[in-house]
Amino acid sequence: MITNPDILPIDTGDSVPATTTYKAARSVAGLVASHFERHHEAVSKYYEQELAPRPDPRIIEAIIDTTFWASLRREEGRSPTVSIAYLPPEAAEHPLIFAERLTLTANTLTKLAPAVERSGIHLGVWEVDGELRIWGTTRVIPGLCFVLEVIEPGMLVVKHRRVEGFGKFVNVAVLKGDQVKIVNEESRKVRDCPSLINSLMGFSSTTLWSDYPNLLVQLAASMRSHGRGGILLVVPKGKERWRDSIIHPITYDVQPPFSELADLHRKYVEDPNPITWQNQFSSAVHNMAGLTAVDGATIINDRYELLAFGAKIGRAAAGKPVEEILITEPVIGNTANVVHPVQNGGTRHLSAAQFVHDQRDAIALVASQDGRFTIFSWSQCEKIVQAHRVDALLL
């Protein structure tokens, strides 16, 4: 995590507007621009459809600076929550276009916020005669389109749409006051990095729903969004050993396994058309993620079949107490630390770590009420439970 943005000497060129008062905007602009440059070059080699324009550092700096100050304002007692997409209106699908382009200012964003605060609506911004202008709104944007979203006052997330455009956007950076987190793309190369982490960073297949880690991305995002906290355990299909780590009787045992999500996934493999399945997938994901709000753990297998929810985790009879875990976070500047599990969180985190320590072919997803999200997995190389903090990837 970068806590002092001034330490990054990045040449952003001529800024738009001429001055930037939010220093973090200047510090991250070059790194964010490099991210989009790399991905545009990589994707263009095999992707035939039109991609969104590449934002340069001065554009990124200006949009972040203006939006940050807008996020601190209030309109009729409410803080603005807006999402800004950098693209011309002709690059959007079915755009709502204003008769007069509006200058991108904190005041304009604050006034427009009530109209675009619902999820999925973006304010379209483009440079006209050297000045950033708001041209209207859009719901559909091209792949790799630069998006800046206000999460809460003073907290912004830089993200982009996945190439195939189906599912959660890929996060690039999180800015909260003078604290900056840049997603570290090299984290995917670390030994025993779970496929789910790669998928959150956008490094799995380009089709979002083609394998189970990508589907887990949607479950993780939905778990985090309900705000009640919860645990999702993912165990191998056909194995019952996981029951050794669950206190019996299970309050909500599901027999036979509930297969709505599994059936949808199977049908999608046969007909991979995102438009056909998107709404059905979204509804099924939210229904299953909602079960994690019940006290106890929700358990599914790696084919998305629901096995139980409200289950209490206990140490397996033949298991040993988990004594240490390795905490990591896929952001630039993070250093992995080995700590005792009680230093990582409360009961949820401790029980999830114990479950993975006993059931080493399983993973555990833990959402806290405060928005923190951790993925527990067993590292075969390090012989330790890894706790991957992925808040920056899920906002």
Of 214 and 42, the one with more pLDDT: 42
Taking the C-alpha atoms of residue 172 and residue 116, their distance in angstroms, rounded to an integer, is 22
Which of the four pLDDT bands, split at 50, 70 and 90, describes residue 269? confident
Q: Which of 182, 215, 233 is where one domain is finished?
A: 182
Mean per-residue pLDDT for 190-194? 72
* Alpha-carbon separation of residue 94 from 8, 137, 236, 357 (angstroms): 39, 9, 43, 50
CA atoms within 13 A on the CB side of 150: 31
My answer on whether omega of the bond before 256 falls inside 30° of 0, hence cis, is yes
The answer to whether the beta carbons of residues 173 and 128 sit under 8 Å apart is: no
Claim to verify: residue 140 and residue 209 sit in the same structural domain: no
Where among 121, 149, 182 does a domain terminate? 182
The pLDDT-based confidence of 167 (bands split at 50, 70, 90) is low
Tell me, yes or no, whether 90 and 215 share the same domain.
no
Least Cα distance to 326 among 373, 287, 378 occurs for: 378
Report yes or no on 220 lying in a domain.
Answer: yes
Residue 2's pLDDT band, with cuts at 50, 70 and 90, is: very low
What is the chain's length?
Answer: 395
Residue 254, in any domain of the structure = yes
Domain identity same for 383 and 283: yes
Res. 203: pLDDT tops 80:
no
Which residues, other chains included, contact 122 with Cβ-Cβ below 8 Å and sequence gap of 6+? Answer: 83, 84, 85, 116, 137, 138, 139, 141, 147
pLDDT of residue 239: 94
- Predicted local confidence at residue 11, as pLDDT: 37
Instruction: Return the pLDDT at 371.
Output: 85
E strand or H helix at 67:
helix 57-71
> Contact at 8 Å (CB) between 24 and 51?
no
In this prediction, residue 386 carries a pLDDT of: 94
The pLDDT, as a whole number, for residue 275 is 60
The continuous run of DSSP H or E covering 193 comes out as none
Q: Assess if residue 41 is contained within a domain.
A: yes
The number of distinct structural domains making up the chain is: 2
pLDDT of 164 reads 63
Domain membership flag for residue 31: yes
**Using one digit for the tens of pLDDT, what is the confidence trace for 24-55?**
999 999 999 999 998 888 887 777 678 899 99
Identify the band that residue 64 occupies on the pLDDT scale cut at 50, 70 and 90: very high
User: Sorting pLDDT into bands at 50, 70 and 90, what band is 71?
Assistant: very high
pTM of the model: 0.81
* Backbone Cα Rg of the chain: 22
Domain match, 335 and 281 both = yes
CB atoms closer than 10 angstroms to residue 116:
18
Pick from 267, 61, 68, 265: which is nearest to 149 by CA? 68
Mean pLDDT to the nearest integer, 81-109: 95
Which pLDDT value is given to residue 276?
63
Q: Is residue 213 part of a domain?
A: yes
Q: Amino acid letter at 194?
A: P
Taking Cα atoms as reference points, which of 324, 315, 306, 311 lies closest to residue 378?
324
For 178, the domain range is 23-182
Assess whether 119 and 247 both reside in one domain. no
Same domain, 201 and 161: no
What's the pLDDT band for 274 if we cut at 50, 70, 90?
A: low
Q: Is the pLDDT of residue 272 over 60?
A: yes
**Mean residue pLDDT across the chain:** 86
Would 233 be classed as within a structural domain?
yes
β 384-389/325-328 pair status: parallel
Do 289 and 377 share a domain, yes or no?
Answer: yes
CATH number, domain containing residue 308: 3.40.1700.10
253 & 369 share domain: yes
Specify if 17 maps to a domain.
Answer: no
Do 129 and 209 reside in the same domain of the chain?
A: no
The pair of structure tokens assigned to 387 is 């706790």
- pLDDT for 7 beyond 50: no
Range from 64-73, 189-198, 374-383 carrying the lowest mean pLDDT? 189-198
Stretch 225-251: mean pLDDT: 95
Residue closest to 134 by CA, chosen among 95, 168, 170, 84: 84
Q: Confirm whether 3 is domain-assigned.
A: no
Residue that wins the pLDDT comparison between 103 and 213: 103
CA-CA distance, 277 to 268, in Å (whole number)? 7
Q: What is the pLDDT of residue 91?
A: 94
DSSP labels, 258-306? E-HHHHHHHHHHHS--HHHHHHHHHHHHHHHHHHTTSSSEEEEETT--E
380: left (phi over 0), alpha (psi -120 to 50) or beta: alpha
- The HSE-up count of residue 158 (CA atoms within 13 Å, CB side) is 30
Convert the pLDDT of each residue in 323-374 to its tens digit: 999 999 988 888 889 999 888 888 999 999 999 999 999 999 999 998 899 9
Average pLDDT for residues 373-386, to the nearest whole number? 93
